[in-house]
Structure formats: C-alpha cells, structure tokens
Amino acid sequence: MTISGKTQLCGVIGDPVAHSLSPALHNAAFSHLKLDFVFLAFRVKAVELQNAMQGMRGLGIRGLNVTMPHKTAVIRYLDDVESNVKFLASVNTILNEDGRLVGFSTDGIGALHALRENGVNPAGKKVLLLGAGGAAKAIAYTLAQEVEALCILNRVAEKAAVLADNLNRLFGKKIVGGALSPSAVQKNLQEAEILVNATSVGMHPNVNQSLVAPDWLKPDLTVMDIVYNPVETKLAKDAKAAGARVISGVEMLLYQGAASFEIWTGHVAPIEVMRTAALNQLGKVETK
C-alpha cells in the first residue's frame, strides 16, 4: 500500500477500539481493488466526540464507522441521516460529502444479507430474535419488513414489548415482545424457522454459555449468532450438532462492513477478500 497526498482516509471511532476488525477488513478490500484509501482505528472518548466530528470535517476524512459508546450520541453532530436511523436512534456509518456528514445504520441490512447470501430468505418466515439492544433493534427493524412473524425476547421485557409495538405501528406485521426466559425461548422455538441471537451471550471469554438448550434445536431451523469471537459459539456448535443450518456472526460483521465500504467508495465490496481478512485477524485474536 502506497500512501500519498491523494490518499483518502476512513476509520472507526469508539472507546475501546483496539479490538476492532474493521481495519483488517477494509484495508484488505482497498488493497484488493487498488483504491487509494487507508483505514485506521481512533480511540475517541465520549468528551471528545464533538471534537472528533469537527476533525472529520476539517481533515476531510471520507468515512467513519462508529462503535460503542458513540452510536447514539454522534447523531447530534450530523447534517442528515437515512430514514432507519430516525427509528433506531443509532448510527454505525458516517459519510463525509464535501463537509456534509450523513449517518447510516448498516447493521440490519448486514444481517439480512448474511441470511440471504447463505441461502436463507427470511420472507414469510417466523423469526425468534434474542435481545433488544442496539444491534438487535436494527435487525428487528429490517427483518420486520420481510418476515411473516417476529418474536423479540429480552431480559428487560418492557424493552422488547416497546420495540415490538413500535414495529407493529410501522409495518403492521405479527410482532410480539416478551421476557427472555428459558421457558419463553423453548416455547417460541417450536414454531420458529429462524433463530437470531443478538445478545452477547457466548462471547469470549464466556464461550461455554448459551441461551438455548441443545435439545430445543431442530434440523429445520436456521440459527444465526451475531457473536463473532469465537467464530463458532456454543450455540452454533449445538445447532450444527442438531442438524440446523448455522450462520456465523462473522457473516453479519462482513456484510454490514461491506455496506459501509460501498457507501464510502461507490465500489462493490470484495466479500471473499474481506471474509478471509476477518477470519485471519480473528485467528490471531483467538490464539493470544
């Protein structure tokens, strides 16, 4: 990679941010397509967020990914947002158009593409979604427009219920929300065709945890776990053993990253290159 006075800069902001896989994904993609871009990670503390946004304008940074804890707070410093951001109150991608900052959320479309590109069309399906946090909300918003029925379970039941009610008002689908309890998971899995874990349960270092008992899983189920470290979670292993179709969290990471890449560059993202880069980086992380 040759960096010159014409090189365009993209990056990710968050706190912490050193663990991010985004630099590996995007720099591999830039290099493969011979684009004159470079991607860096910037640790930005909450008190410095406004300065960071001014810096994005002042330095002409082309694009940023936004991770915790800034996904909501950053919105006040943007000039415009796409329509789903208004519902989600969350941004994970910013485009700088000659000093005009526009916010996007690519998490939901990343999940949808992860399903479709792995042979699963959620249209007309019954989906069980575990979690109602930021990523879960984005996934719910996107899938609610596709599926026949959606059940959202969350530890704080009220949060799931409010999300379900809001989605019902928007899309008029069969969407319900409730408490994330073992009995509720077991009951709703009996009819579900797709299960999405959008909680952090099973993430490193708690790799032996799962919200789903192995004997609740079935061969005609698709299981997508958005946790990507480890690449294969306990839920994924159990689902595979039960004969279910399994979609790794790396896939959602990959496709939401690809959507950001395309917003910034206008080029189709090289998915296989980005997948290899992510898995290689995760291999390094997991062996530390």
Annotated catalytic residues are 71
Per-residue confidence (pLDDT) for residue 286, from 0 to 100: 52
Domains 8-105+252-286 and 108-247 share a fold: yes
Per-residue confidence (pLDDT) for residue 141, from 0 to 100: 97
Q: Considering only the C-alpha atoms of the chain, give the largest distance between any 2 of them, rounded to a whole number of Å.
A: 59
DSSP letter string over 94-153?
A: EEEETTEEEEE--HHHHHHHHHHHTT---TT-EEEEE--SHHHHHHHHHHTTT-SEEEEE
Distance between CA atoms of residues 65 and 104, nearest Å: 9
According to CATH, what is the number of the domain 8-105+252-286?
3.40.50.10860
Give the Cβ contact number of residue 253 at 10 Å.
Answer: 24
All structural domains of the chain with their residue ranges: 8-105+252-286, 108-247
* Residue 53 contacts residue 101 (beta carbons within 8 Å): yes
What are the percentages of helix, strand and coil residues in the chain, rounded to 5? 45, 20, 35
According to CATH, what is the number of the domain 108-247?
3.40.50.720
Distance between CA atoms of residues 153 and 176, nearest Å: 9
Per-residue confidence (pLDDT) for residue 288, from 0 to 100: 39
Give the residue ranges of the chain where pLDDT is below 70. 284-288
Distance between CA atoms of residues 101 and 81, nearest Å: 8
Q: Pull the structure tokens for residue 248.
A: 């790794």
Per-residue confidence (pLDDT) for residue 285, from 0 to 100: 58
Distance between CA atoms of residues 234 and 74, nearest Å: 34
* Residue 202 contacts residue 176 (beta carbons within 8 Å): no
* Residue 17 contacts residue 48 (beta carbons within 8 Å): no
Q: Strand, coil or helix: what is 197?
A: strand
Instruction: Report whether the peptide linkage leading into residue 230 is cis, meaning its omega lies within 30 degrees of zero.
Output: yes
Cβ-in-10-Å burial (0-12, 13-18, 19+) of 109 comes to buried
Distance between CA atoms of residues 88 and 105, nearest Å: 8
